[in-house]
């Protein structure tokens, strides 16, 4: 199974991602806990691509690919931005960062997915989930 959708960089388009995840979860009987992890991580990755990667530029797209293969769901999110230094993200749980509004998205994606990989200088993130 593979689905690819391309959305303009508008926050309201996050609903489209949620709909696809709902469809995949129903079709492949993904349990509630795993569904929650997938939903939050995928929405966070897409939100980051829209806000930080494409800087809310509606002329730039975010491409989201969903691939289910060998009991693994891979979700790849690509933006048209320049990327970021994903190797040096401050720990949001450190006392000096606890009050910061930003900086929790990547932490959440790492905790909720079974594997996370960045490429294209951070403009692409791939989340992997083990499905039964």
Give the total number of structural domains in the chain. 1
Residue 101 confidence (pLDDT) above 70? no
Least Cα distance to 71 among 43, 110, 34, 106 occurs for 34
List pLDDT tens digits, range 22-57: 999 999 999 999 999 999 999 999 999 999 999 999
Q: Which domain holds residue 62?
A: 2-130
Percentage of the chain lying above the pLDDT 70 cut: 99
Least Cα distance to 123 among 91, 68, 90, 76 occurs for 76
On whether the CB atoms of residues 128 and 73 are closer than 8 A, the answer is yes
Q: What token pair was written down for 31? A: 């349990």
- Helix residue ranges per DSSP H, 28-124: 32-48, 105-112
List pLDDT tens digits, range 108-121: 999 999 999 999 99
Residue 47's domain is classified under what CATH number?
3.30.565.10
Please tell me the pTM assigned to this model: 0.93
If one compares 94 and 129, the residue with the highest pLDDT of the two is 129
For residue 96, what pLDDT band results from cuts at 50, 70 and 90?
A: confident
Q: What token pair was written down for 132? A: 């039964």
On whether the CB atoms of residues 75 and 64 are closer than 8 A, the answer is yes
């Amino acid at each position: 199974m593979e689905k690819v959708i391309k959305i303009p960089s508008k926050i309201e388009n996050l609903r489209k991602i949620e709909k696809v995840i709902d469809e995949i979860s129903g079709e492949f009987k993904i349990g509630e806990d795993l569904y929650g992890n997938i939903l939050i991580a995928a929405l966070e990755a897409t939100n980051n691509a829209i806000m930080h990667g494409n800087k809310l530029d509606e002329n730039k797209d975010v491409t989201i690919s969903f691939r289910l293969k060998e009991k693994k769901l891979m979700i790849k999110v690509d933006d048209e931005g320049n990327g970021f230094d994903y190797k040096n993200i401050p720990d949001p749980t450190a006392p000096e960062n606890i009050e910061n509004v930003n900086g929790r998205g990547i932490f959440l994606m790492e905790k909720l997915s079974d594997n996370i990989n960045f490429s294209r200088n951070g403009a692409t993130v791939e989340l992997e989930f083990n499905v039964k």
